[in-house]
């Protein structure tokens, strides 16, 4: 194996969290920083040639190659896990920028009580209301502590939106249920497409509090505090699964890479597939010494480093720690061990699909142009007499209704037809259809976790990550609660016909339900049940940091990236201001 000269910091993964850490360390210190990214290089200008729906959206050009590495999945301990051979329920990226290149850019913050979920729920409803088998935990950090870092993340991306609560003062038109924020969003909301405007008006008429979705697809030209300028969105609708042609959608390559490129102390090494974190026990306790990776020629390389950051996304972070034998693997039977526990996804469903008489112009839109209501989120409504805890957001989006993915959705009444009659119905309804989505909280359970698969291996011969994951009654009942509410809004919007989502049964690996997966290396105030402290620092190895949603003890209904970025900023501050002066545990 070839050994390279040592660097100060190595970062595994070149997505949102990895490149943000590289930018912060690279521009605020003189540390030598190397980012190792297993996919290829990318620059924002390569999207300018135009978009091909088949190539990007259907054949998934930007996603991880599952023939090299995938996960295995089973619903319970007694099932045999099988490899997921096609992208389905989540579509994670590879290459510089990670999933942040082809994401949507809907950027809500988490509700304040999400960070203290266990204490707040017990305080209000008592232990008895917690689901059997739950593994809910507090995060070891409060919303108030994270608030300034949320603001920095929003300013870096140039989020467009409308505040609902500035320092405790309610603001009309924003999210009436959000936590306080120190400042309004950097930019005004995006345009509201027609379908979403119908949703807004119907929701208002029914007594809800609609607000524009916070969007990283920016409403107008913007220069962020780092001096990076981007153009405003033109609503072409090629966002989700695509890189943005004009750079209006915040992506790691158009917000962070321009700064990183100017720093001589930071380099991004692509096609570097990290396999192990090298660690040993010295006089001052355990230390990581660097990482090994396979380069593009297939050679094994050792990159020594003083600091190691895992930023390879939820599942890969957990797998790398498991493969490297760092920490105690979680055992679901005894509930002992910390690594791999609290696997959560997002409860994500097209609650009601509405069919209209009039055209909706749904070809226009952006990955984050839409309207949400927070009335049914978190604990914004009383659960005393309800058969579930927590809730979620109902929303209507106009993402750009691209023909290959969306043609052929017809109402129930047209499903009996075929041939030319069906074609007529499919053409008629192509621009007359829209779904009201629900995204809800997924609580953590003892039985949902990750470990290494005993049978299946990746292209390098390393065990795949095994997911043991299924819904529980709390999620099923939450969905049953949300679906009729979505249907009521759809009918108030004037829908001619409404099709309802059939409900959550088993966890389905084939239905796309967001790439918002959490857990495995969760954070908390004490090492008893968690892997990292509230600075994302490994409890047992102080020169190892694990960034990203792998640290979330449970899903918080909203999309994860602003929280990932806020936590990364906070960690970077702690390293620059404290760790480098006095290396060791930060908490
Ligand atoms: C289609 C889609 C839509 C989304 N929409 C939203 C949204 O609207 N709002 C929101 O908040 N979030 C959204 N997300 C989620 C968002 O993209 C992620 O939360 C975010 O990208 C996570 O950042 P990360 O740095 O943790 O991981 P990533 O961005 O996934 O980056 C991880 C990087 O690590 C690399 N890597 C992995 N393993 C290795 C290894 N062994 N060696 C070297 N490199 C490795 C990967 O190739 C990848 O580039 C969306 C995701 C997808 C896929």
Q: Over the stretch 151-208, which tens digit does the pLDDT of each residue have?
A: 999 999 999 999 999 999 999 999 999 999 999 999 999 999 999 999 999 999 999 9
Q: 388 alpha carbon to ligand 1 midpoint, in Å?
A: 30
Q: 478 alpha carbon to ligand 1 midpoint, in Å?
A: 27
Q: Write the residue with the smallest CA distance to atom 41 of ligand 1.
A: 274
Given a cut of 90, whether residue 401 has pLDDT beyond it is no
Ligand 1 atom index nearest CA of 108: 11
Ligand 1 atom index nearest CA of 558: 11
Return the ∠ at Cα 276 (arms to 272 and 280), rounded to 5°: 135
Token pair recorded at residue 394 = 């109902």
Catalytic residue among 279, 345, 442, 516: 516
Q: What is the pLDDT of residue 499?
A: 96
- Ramachandran class of 509: left when φ > 0, alpha when ψ lies in -120 to 50, beta otherwise: alpha
- Percent of the chain residues topping a pLDDT of 90: 94
Mutate to test the pocket of ligand 1, among 37, 60, 63, 98 (most ligand atoms within 8 A of CB): 98
How far CA 551 is from CA of 122, 182, 212, in Å, comes to 22, 25, 28
**Nearest C-alpha neighbor of 88 from the set 130, 60, 111:** 60
**Nearest C-alpha neighbor of 177 from the set 214, 211, 149:** 211
Query: Looking only at Cα atoms, what is the longest distance across the chain?
Result: 78
Q: Say if residue 576 is exposed, middle or buried (CB neighbours under 10 Å; 0-12, 13-18, 19+).
A: middle
Q: What is the pLDDT of residue 414?
A: 85
Q: What is the pLDDT of residue 121?
A: 97
Q: 243 alpha carbon to ligand 1 midpoint, in Å?
A: 13
Distance CA 67, CA 85 (A): 7
Return the ∠ at Cα 479 (arms to 477 and 480), rounded to 5°: 60
Ligand 1 atom index nearest CA of 368: 8
Q: 105 alpha carbon to ligand 1 midpoint, in Å?
A: 12
Ligand 1 atom index nearest CA of 273: 42
Ligand 1 pocket (Cβ < 6 Å) reads: 12-18, 36-39, 91-95, 98-100, 102-107, 240-241, 272-274, 311-313, 316, 515-516, 548-549, 559-561, 564
Arithmetic mean of pLDDT over the chain: 96
- Percent of the chain residues topping a pLDDT of 70: 100
Mutate to test the pocket of ligand 1, among 515, 555, 556 (most ligand atoms within 8 A of CB): 515
Given a cut of 90, whether residue 50 has pLDDT beyond it is no
Looking only at the bridges linking them, the beta strands covering 266-270 and 273-282 are: unpaired
Q: 549 alpha carbon to ligand 1 midpoint, in Å?
A: 10
pLDDT digits 0-9 by tens, 5-49: 999 999 999 999 999 999 999 999 999 999 999 999 998 888 988
How far CA 47 is from CA of 95, 248, 251, 259, 437, in Å, comes to 14, 12, 12, 19, 29
516 noted as active-site residue: yes
Check if the beta carbon of residue 38 is closer than 8 Å to that of residue 336.
no
Name residue, tokens 């390393």. 462
- Using DSSP, state whether 465 is helix, strand or coil: strand
3-state SS track over 190-238: CCCCHHHHHHHHHHHHCCCCEEECCECECCCCEECCCCCEECCCCCECC
């Amino acid at each position: 194996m070839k050994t390279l000269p040592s660097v100060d910091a190595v970062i595994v993964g070149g997505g949102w969290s990895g490149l943000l850490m590289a930018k912060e360390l690279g521009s605020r210190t003189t540390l030598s920083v190397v980012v190792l990214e297993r996919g290829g290089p990318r620059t924002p200008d390569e999207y300018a040639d135009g978009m091909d729906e088949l190539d990007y959206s259907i054949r998934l050009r930007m996603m991880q190659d599952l023939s090299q590495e995938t996960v295995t999945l089973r619903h319970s301990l007694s099932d045999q896990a099988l490899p997921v051979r096609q992208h389905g329920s989540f579509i994670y990226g590879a290459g510089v920028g990670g999933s942040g290149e082809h994401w949507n850019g809907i950027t809500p913050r988490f509700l304040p009580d999400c960070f203290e979920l266990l204490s707040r729920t017990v305080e209000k409803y008592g232990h008895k209301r917690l689901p059997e088998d739950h593994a809910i935990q507090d995060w070891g950090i409060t919303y108030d502590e994270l608030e300034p870092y949320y603001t920095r993340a929003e300013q870096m991306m140039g989020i467009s939106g409308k505040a609902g609560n500035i320092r405790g003062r309610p603001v009309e038109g924003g999210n009436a249920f959000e936590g306080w924020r120190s400042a309004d969003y950097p930019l005004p909301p995006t345009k509201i497409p027609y379908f979403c405007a119908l949703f807004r008006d119907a929701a208002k008429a029914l007594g809800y509090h609609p607000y524009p979705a916070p969007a990283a697809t920016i409403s107008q030209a913007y220069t962020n505090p780092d001096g990076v300028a981007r153009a405003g969105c033109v609503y072409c609708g090629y966002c989700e699964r695509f890189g943005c042609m004009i750079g209006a959608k915040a992506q790691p390559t158009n917000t962070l890479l321009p700064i990183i490129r100017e720093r001589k102390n930071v380099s991004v090494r692509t096609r570097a597939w990290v396999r192990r974190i090298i660690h040993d026990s010295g006089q001052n306790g355990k230390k990581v010494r660097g990482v090994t990776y396979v380069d593009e020629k297939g050679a094994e390389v050792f990159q020594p480093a003083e600091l190691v950051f895992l930023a390879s996304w939820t599942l890969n972070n957990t797998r790398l720690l498991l493969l490297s034998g760092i920490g105690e693997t979680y055992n679901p039977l005894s509930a002992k061990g910390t690594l791999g526990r609290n696997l959560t996804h997002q409860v994500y469903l097209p609650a009601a699909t509405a069919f209209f008489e009039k055209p909706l112009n749904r070809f226009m839109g952006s990955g984050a142009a839409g309207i949400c209501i927070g009335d049914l989120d978190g604990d914004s409504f009383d659960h005393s007499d309800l058969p579930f805890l927590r809730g979620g957001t109902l929303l209507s989006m106009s993402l750009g209704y691209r023909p290959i993915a969306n043609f052929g959705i017809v109402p129930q009444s047209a499903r009996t037809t075929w041939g030319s009659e069906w074609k007529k119905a499919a053409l008629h309804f192509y621009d007359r259809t829209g779904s009201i989505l629900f995204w809800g909280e997924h609580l953590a359970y003892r039985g949902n976790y990750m470990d290494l698969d005993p049978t299946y291996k990746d292209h390098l011969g390393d065990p795949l990550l095994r997911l043991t994951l299924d819904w529980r009654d709390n999620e099923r009942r939450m969905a049953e609660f949300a679906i009729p509410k979505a249907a009521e809004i759809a009918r108030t919007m004037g829908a001619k016909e409404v099709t309802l989502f059939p409900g959550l049964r088993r966890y389905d690996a084939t239905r796309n339900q967001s790439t918002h997966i959490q857990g495995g290396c969760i954070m908390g105030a004490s090492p008893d049940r968690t892997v990292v402290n509230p600075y994302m620092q490994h409890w047992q190895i102080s020169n190892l940091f694990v960034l990203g949603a792998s640290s979330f003890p449970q899903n918080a209904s909203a999309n994860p990236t602003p929280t990932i970025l806020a936590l990364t900023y906070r960690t970077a501050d702690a390293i620059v201001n404290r760790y480098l002066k006095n290396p060791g545990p930060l908490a």
